[in-house]
Amino acid sequence: MGCGYTKRRCVELAQGEVCGFVDADDSITSNAIEKMVEAHIKNPLCSLIYSQFYYTDNNHNVISISQHQCTIPEGNSFLTCNILGAVSHFATFKKKYYNQTIGIDPSFKIAEDIDLYFKLEEVGVLLFIPTPLYYYRTDTGNNTSLGEKNHIKSISWDFLARINAYKRRNLPIEDILIPQLTHIYEEAYSIGQDNVRATTSYKIGRAIITPFKSITKVLSR
């Protein structure tokens, strides 16, 4: 039935006070649940609490710490701020606040988490923990075309989630959303280009092409 339907059903069946998702190819730190439960107890008005995460390779070796997550700037919301990926893993939420929303959209195949974050922001406070508690495995394989396709799909579903949130909040879509999306798409394109350059196939291609470029320059003189 897809990711949105499955996650919605999981929350419906959950009996705990705090919920959170870990993707099948990722993992969390040994103290992640402890830290999140402590944070939720200390911050009863927070509907969603999220942390920094580690980027890892396919063998779960840490590559770096994500720098995208942050506290939402004062006077802004997750929906209106121009920070791509400001709210992400490890994200946990109180079920009592979730029950005040219309829940995860079962039709969403991608970006169902972003859609959920917008909804939780509408019923409570978002809190950032500046400590990495999640291991996010990146695709270090050679299938860059598949990655590009998924990147486009992700942006499309993200767009839909934002449109729905603007409608729920009665915000002027044309005046706010369009300039914001322009910024987000430019940033997403830049990140996408960096991801491609980091792949093994790109590096091999550069290693092969560079000597030929040098030879061509010499022959043209």
| Separation CA 61–CA 113 (nearest Å) | 25
| Separation CA 79–CA 82 (nearest Å) | 8
Instruction: Please report whether residue 160 resides in a domain.
Output: yes
Instruction: Please report whether residue 176 resides in a domain.
Output: yes
Residue 2, pLDDT above cutoff 90: no
CATH number at residue 177: 3.90.550.10
- The token duo for 44 is 């009863």
Going by C-alpha positions, the residue among 165, 102, 37, 63 that lies closest to residue 51 is: 37
Residue 105, pLDDT above cutoff 60: yes
Domain count, the chain: 1
pLDDT value for 185: 60
Residue 134, pLDDT above cutoff 90: yes
Instruction: Please report whether residue 177 resides in a domain.
Output: yes
Instruction: Please report whether residue 163 resides in a domain.
Output: yes
Q: What is the distance in angstroms between the CA of the first residue and the CA of the last residue of the chain? A: 62
Instruction: Please report whether residue 221 resides in a domain.
Output: no
Residue 7, pLDDT above cutoff 90: yes
Instruction: Please report whether residue 217 resides in a domain.
Output: no
What is the pTM (predicted TM-score) of this model?
0.74
Instruction: Please report whether residue 11 resides in a domain.
Output: yes
Phi and psi at residue 43, to the nearest 5°: -130, 75
Percent of the chain with pLDDT over 70: 71
Instruction: Please report whether residue 195 resides in a domain.
Output: yes
- When pLDDT is averaged across residues 178-202 and rounded to a whole number, the result is 56
What is the rounded average pLDDT for all residues in the chain? Answer: 79
Task: Give the SS3 label for residue 50.
Answer: strand
Sign of CA dihedral 179, 104, 121, 65: negative
Sign of CA dihedral 82, 84, 86, 87: positive
| Separation CA 197–CA 188 (nearest Å) | 14
Contact between 7 and 102 (Cβ < 8 Å): no
What is the number of residues in the chain? 221
> Residue 16's CB: how many other CB atoms inside 10 A?
9
Domain span holding position 143: 3-203
